[in-house]
Structure 1
């Protein structure tokens, strides 16, 4: 696969997790990945960042209102429960075990995912602006 077939800012072999940078739950997910991705498989980008916006545009996803986490592996895009479970399946145990939930039918998984995603601000709150990564975590974030 040539670099020209990859979304912007993504290098061959990179795995990128796009998350809502003002959502408290989404930020907790990003911090979870930083803590538990010991092999440093994943890079992170908020959907509000220039990099996140370019990747969303490349996949023709909404730029203003984005109600799901997205995971990009090469030129493939995964969203909603499929994204979460694909990521968890690549982490070390015990988190890898949650990847087995893929046996549950996707419409059921996505329905549950949507209940949380569509109510995440009400349930968990939001920040006024995107949080900046800690200096020691900055290299985990995608940047141009």
Structure 2
């Protein structure tokens, strides 16, 4: 069960890359506490706007932990610290200057739909994890 202080991952629910990352996280997270908030939801729109992200044209996801919202490569690294498995190799990226990490993040984010695809609607999580998600009201 997630708590109100649980880390939050604000993700693009129609992005195939993002949805794959959510599925990976569910399989490999250490403490099973992360809340997943689709940017297409009401809470997601509000969270995005609060942190300077256009919810209709998102250029980053957010990882909110301990009251801090981390975007781009900082968000990826913060999320990765909650995981086991091969994704932990991404933590090696801490050795790179932030501007280089963010440059790479921006290239992938800007081309994610073209490279990985886009769905028409957010994926519906299985019943065992549904309580950890905030999805658009139309699902």
Aligned to 2:76: 84
How far, CA to CA, are the matches of 2:108 and 2:49 in structure 1? 24
Aligned to 1:123: 115
Gaps of 5+ in 2: none
How far, CA to CA, are the matches of 2:52 and 2:60 in structure 1? 14
> Normalized against structure 2, the TM-score is what?
0.85
Aligned to 1:75: 67
CA shift, 1:92, in A, is 2.8
Give the length in aligned residue pairs: 133
| Runs of 4+ with >6 A deviation | none
Cα offsets for 1:75-99 (capped at 9, x unmatched): 2110111101111123235543432
CA shift, 1:24, in A, is 0.5
Aligned to 1:22: 14
Cα offsets for 1:47-92 (capped at 9, x unmatched): 0011211212332432221121110113211011110111112323
Aligned partners of 1:20 and 1:48 also within 8 Å: yes
Compute the RMSD of aligned alpha carbons. 1.9
1:63 to 52, 55, 67: 55
1:1-144 aligned at under 5 Å gives the runs 11=4, 13-92=5-84, 94-142=86-134
CA shift, 1:126, in A, is 0.5
